[in-house]
Amino acid sequence: MRRPTIGRRPLLYGAAIAAAGMLVVSGCSGPEHGAAPPQVARSGSPSRGAKLISSYGCASCHTVPGVPGADALVGPPLTKFARRSYIAGMLPNTEANLHRWLENPQAIVPGNAMPDLHVTARDAADITAYLYTLR
């Protein structure tokens, strides 16, 4: 009995190549796998940022280490945020992109679950500074 083939290669060989390709792609998704190093904020006050996370109500949706009462599970937990490759699963995790996201997430991804909280530019810098301490 003949084995099924794709062209001249056995089907099993093709499946093995596909599986290896998926491992390579999935293995490159985070900094712990050799991608970008942790982010560092160039401006802003981390201590003020932690307080702002509470005052803007971020704790009602997110778990944020070091912020009392921030243990909600509506939005993604922000643990190790500085090591993440992406913001909202699509924006490269850079200081400028995080500022834009915090100031107006609906302008970036209309209809997403993150509300526009009217975060000011200064407050966005401080929140960014705090989130980038989470390594």
Q: Are 4 and 11 in contact (CB under 8 A)?
A: yes
Indicate the pTM of the whole model: 0.71
Q: Which CATH number fits domain 46-131: 3.30.470.10, 2.60.40.420, 3.40.50.300, 3.40.1190.20?
A: 2.60.40.420
- How confident is the model at residue 34, as a pLDDT? 47
Those residues with Cβ within 8 angstroms of residue 12's Cβ, 6 or more apart along the chain or in another chain: 3
Question: What is the per-residue pLDDT across 9-49, written as a single tens digit (0 to 9) for each?
Answer: 444 444 443 443 433 333 344 444 445 677 888 889 999 99
Domain coordinates in residue numbering, the chain: 1-35, 46-131
